[in-house]
Amino acid sequence: MPQANWIGTVYHGLPRDLLPFQPKAKGGYLAFLGRISPEKGPNRAIEIAARAAMPLKIAAKVDRVDQAYWEEIIRPMVDAHRNVEFIGEIGDQDKAKLLGDAAALLFPVDWPEPFGLVLIEAMACGTPVIAFRRGSVAEVLEDGTSGFIVDTIEDAVTAVRRIGSLDRAKIRADFEQHFTVERMARDYLDIYQQRTATKPNRFPAFKVRDRVQSLAADLTPAIVPPANG
């Protein structure tokens, strides 16, 4: 995107304690969290769960633009699979339990995902992610540590059978190292300071530093991601 005047990439961050770490998956199910839309791949999630013979909980909103997709494609699939439970849209408190108790989050996207906030929400809970290799997925997940990156439904089913090999504490540690709001603010600060080095009279560095540090403190209690991204 040459027209974007790109300077640097700053990945999303979440408040460290927004979603608590869950050292053990209590639910024994797979989770899908997001929107009921073709690009998010709920149909793939249902197929993966069916082939892996595991329960699937779908927490998702249905936007008006996707109503026909829900009625004609996804709802019949939900009705046809006894292992699938459609919960609907949920809030942050329910999100913590859904993700924390899940054996894994399925992220079977079928488009170039710009980020995927739910990826780091799951990681914050210590929950591994099985995601398709689209868009930013390979930048957010560390394959074999925070989850598995797959290319096909068959690969995803195989990955479901391997989730027990992943250490949930390491997944949480990966989140704390790369995806907290503090890290996000530091990255913005670094970019601003690089720019002030070339334009010192326009953006005094000490003013930028003080302002961003103040914003980082303010963001920690204030950032509340959408219920379903």
Domain ranges (residues) in the chain? 30-178, 180-222
The yes-or-no verdict on residue 152 having pLDDT over 80 is yes
pTM of the entire structure? Answer: 0.85
* CB proximity list for 186: less than 8 A, separation 6 or greater: 216
Q: Decide the pairing of beta strands 147-150 and 129-132.
A: parallel
Which whole number is the average pLDDT over 143-149? 97
Residue 203 has pLDDT above 90, yes or no: no
Compute the Cα dihedral for 184, 187, 189, 195 and give only its sign. negative
pLDDT tens-digit map of 39-63: 999 999 999 999 999 999 999 999 9
Is residue 229's pLDDT more than 70? no
- Domain spanning 30-178 has what CATH number? 3.40.50.2000
| 157 has a pLDDT exceeding 80 | yes
Nearest to 60 by CA among 42, 39, 79: 42
Cα separation of 7 and 203, whole Å?
A: 16
